[in-house]
């Protein structure tokens, strides 16, 4: 069976505060859901991060999780280069996932992160 790339999410957080550490994001507008199951065995291929306001200080890092555990696949925003959008892709063999695995996204914001009015969204590209 041919594997098909698809986007999961979006995960989001409104009014991102400074100084957060590995905070799970809300999924599809539901504050009680943080993970999305995949249907078939597959691989995590990428992560994209968007902010509705430009970062003016500090950094924000978004990371993909599988069953609540870090994958190491991250992307970030900063005040110099990637102020509103950034994405990272990887080889499909790096993060293989089994059917039923719960995919999520979490963020870490530095103590200097600004503006506190920024709303962010994260999407994850998987092949399954």
Query: Could you tell me the pLDDT band of residue 4, with boundaries at 50, 70 and 90?
Result: confident
- Average pLDDT of the segment spanning 80-94: 96
Q: What is the structure's pLDDT at 115?
A: 97
- Write the DSSP symbol of residue 16: P
Q: What is the structure's pLDDT at 29?
A: 79
Query: Could you tell me the pLDDT band of residue 71, with boundaries at 50, 70 and 90?
Result: very high
Domains, the chain: 5-127 (2.60.120)
Q: What is the structure's pLDDT at 32?
A: 85
Q: What is the structure's pLDDT at 24?
A: 96
Residue of 44, 38, 109, 36 whose CA lies nearest to 72: 44
Query: Could you tell me the pLDDT band of residue 21, with boundaries at 50, 70 and 90?
Result: very high
pLDDT at 28 > cutoff 90? no
| Model pLDDT for residues 44-64, shown as the tens digit of each residue | 999 999 999 999 999 999 999
pLDDT at 36 > cutoff 80? yes
What proportions of the chain, in percent to the nearest 5, are helix, strand and coil?
A: 0, 55, 45
Q: What is the structure's pLDDT at 2?
A: 78
CB-based contacts of 109, cutoff 8 Å, min separation 6: 16, 17, 18, 19, 20, 58, 59, 60, 61
Determine which helix (DSSP H) or strand (DSSP E) holds 42, and give its type and residue range. Answer: strand 42-51
Q: What is the structure's pLDDT at 44?
A: 97
Q: Is residue 122 within 8 Å of 105, Cβ to Cβ? A: yes
């Amino acid at each position: 069976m041919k594997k098909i790339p698809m986007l999961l999410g979006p995960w989001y957080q409104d009014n991102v505060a400074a100084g957060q550490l590995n905070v799970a994001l809300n999924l599809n507008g539901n504050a009680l859901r943080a993970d999305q199951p995949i249907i078939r065995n597959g691989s995590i291929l990428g992560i994209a991060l968007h902010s509705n306001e430009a970062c003016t200080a500090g950094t924000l890092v978004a990371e993909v999780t599988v069953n609540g555990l870090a994958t190491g696949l991250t992307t970030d925003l900063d005040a110099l280069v990637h102020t509103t959008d950034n994405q990272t892709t990887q080889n499909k063999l790096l993060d293989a996932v089994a059917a039923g695995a719960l995919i999520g996204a979490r963020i870490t914001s530095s103590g200097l992160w600004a503006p506190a009015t920024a709303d962010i969204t994260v999407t994850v590209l998987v092949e399954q």
